[in-house]
Every structure is written in structure tokens, then in C-alpha cells.
Structure 1
């Protein structure tokens, strides 16, 4: 009986989280993609990201351990100076300076497997933006995802504090199979 009550409470809690999230973000839980930071430990959470609306590819494989490498320059709008470590990795860039499509193309040309574009509004912890095509004909084929500004800032800050060139992540993560999903989300993010 006690186990059934706990399970019912968890289901109710998850539904409440979903409803609140849908109201604040405008996106449903199935419209987001999730990734887990494995290392460093201080940001070992499950993060959500919104896929681009009309450009970029989809993940055809699941990556249990892949690097999340911050771009240099951070906005990814010009030639990337640390491209030697981009080959086959997920690249973190910041919004601003050029279109989402241009950022994704620069990452793809540097050998990145996917791009996470973090909002440049570092206080944004709940509003996903729709990333749309900029009208150019050369569209990137790698997955392009929008990351909340606070999440991007916290990831970058952790890597800078520890002088690490990358985080280790798994992407995508199926959160519907995780009973403890609400407990593994970043504490600074509104859920």
C-alpha cells in the first residue's frame, strides 16, 4: 500500500511538473531533447534543449559519452579556433552575432556532430526560443538545439572554474524511463 501511495505521488508530481513546464515554455515535454552531464560532477544534471524548427538534422544514434566543447569564439560566428578538438563532438556556442543557421554551419564545417546554442540572456531559465532558418540555401545537417541561457552559463562557468576543455555528456537521454527525472534537473532551472 505504501509503495502504491509513493508511486501515485510521484506520478502526480511529474504531471504537475509537466503542466507547469508547458505553461511557462510553450513547449511540450515531447518537443524537447534531453542530455545528461556526466562530468564535471558539480553540473551532473539532466538538461533540456529545444531542437531547431526547420533546419538541422536529428540524432540517429545515442551517445553515452561524448564531449561538449565550448566554442572559441563563444558566439561561433567566425572560424572556430579550437576546431581540432571539435571532430565528432557536440559544440556549445552562445546566441548572438549571427544567425542560428550560420552558427550550426560553422560547427558542422569544423567537424562537430551537433551544436547546442545557449541563449545569451544568462538569466533565462525557462523560455525556449524557436530557432528558424535564416533564408539561406546552405542548411546544416547536424542537430541544432537551443539551450536556456542559465544552463549554458552554468556549464561554461563550471568548465572555466576547473580549467576543463570540455564536459562529458550523454545525448539524447530518454527521460520517460527515469523515475528520478525531476530530482536530476538543475536546481536553478524553473520546473
Structure 2
């Protein structure tokens, strides 16, 4: 008999959940729309939330955003795409902020989903910063070449079916509980 099936026993079970909890209600999952694409984006922990932003996209020059931008005139009042890597997320975002960007999209430099970006330093960020997966970043850049004057809009609250696949499934190492007399 498993411990949690005994009479009058209170058992603790373990369920599998994706990275989604009460403290991330403001974090949320969002989509970004651009030239017919609808992409999943994840807001960084250091980033403020944003009302709907609708403006053009521009690639950062240099792509990694770790040194002064050479295209500051194009960045002003735009959403800037910056490649992940080399320096902290807050450094990239603060440089874009100083250049007048309305928001930042960091493109993941490794395969897989976008991650929740953390802050490694005390830089004050006033613009929203989101991350997209590497594949979505490539799709976005391809659309930017095809439709350079298109307007991007985000954040749109979303549910990404790739997340929460195992939500509330009982872990295989967990006890069965609760019992019928619960």
C-alpha cells in the first residue's frame, strides 16, 4: 500500500508545471505581430510592462548591442532587434534606451524557446525588453527584409501551446493521493 492511500493520511504530491506562477501574472506570455507573423515573446524580469506599442523594427548595429550603436538615427522611436550574447541583457537594453528606442527584442542565439531574461546588474531600465526564439528571430528578420516599412505591435497576451505541455500532470515519482476519505 502506498503511503498516501492509507486512511486519514495527508499526503503531498508533486505535479509538473511549466515556468508560470502567481508572481508572473505581470510577466505573462505575449505575442508580437509583424507583417503577417505572430511570434511568441517573453518579457525580461528587469523590464517594465508595456501598453500596446505599434512602430517599426530595426536591427541593431552592431547586432549584439554591446557597444555604441552606429545606427542611432534609425533606432529612435523604434523596436530594436538585438542578438543575445557577449554582454548582459540590461547593457543591451540600456544602450537601446539611450538611443531612443521604444522597446527591445532580444533574439536567442541558441536553439530552443525564448527564455526569461534576468538582470545581472543595477542598471535602471525604463523600456520593455522581450526575447524571441532563434527560429522566430530568423523569421522576423526575413520578414523585415521583405516588408521593411511594416509596423510591429506588441504585447498581445497569449497562450503558447508549446508551454504548459505537462501542466498539472502527476510526476512519476510522486505518491498517488488523495484518498477517498479526504
TM over 0.5: yes
In structure 2, relative to structure 1, the CA distance for the partners of 1:146 and 1:27 (3 Å cut) is farther
Partner of 1:12: none
Give, in whole Å, the separation in 1 of the partners of 2:98 and 2:106: 16
Structure 2: gaps of 5 or more residues: 1-15, 166-182
* Partner Cα distance (1:166, 1:119) in 2: 24
**In terms of Rg, which structure is larger?**
2
- Unaligned 5+ runs, structure 1: 1-21, 183-188
Match of 2:71 among 75, 79, 82: 82
Find out whether 1:35 has 2:32 as its counterpart.
yes
- The offset of 1:130, in angstroms, is 2.4
What is the TM-score of this pair, normalised by structure 2?
Answer: 0.68
Runs of 4 or more above 4 Å deviation: 27-30, 164-167
Give distance in 2, aligned partners of 1:167 and 1:91: 14
- Of residues 66, 71, 75, the one that matches 2:60 is 71
Q: CA RMSD for the aligned pairs?
A: 2.8
* Matched positions, count: 145
Q: TM-score, normalised by structure 1?
A: 0.65
Partners of 1:69 and 1:167 within 8 A in 2: no
In structure 1, the residue matched to 2:8 is: none
Whether the 8 Å CA contact 1:94–1:117 is kept in 2: the answer is yes
Aligned position for 1:15: none
Question: Structure with the greater relative contact order (CA < 8 A, sep ≥ 6): 1 or 2?
Answer: 2
Indicate conservation of the 8 Å contact 2:55/2:153, yes or no.
yes
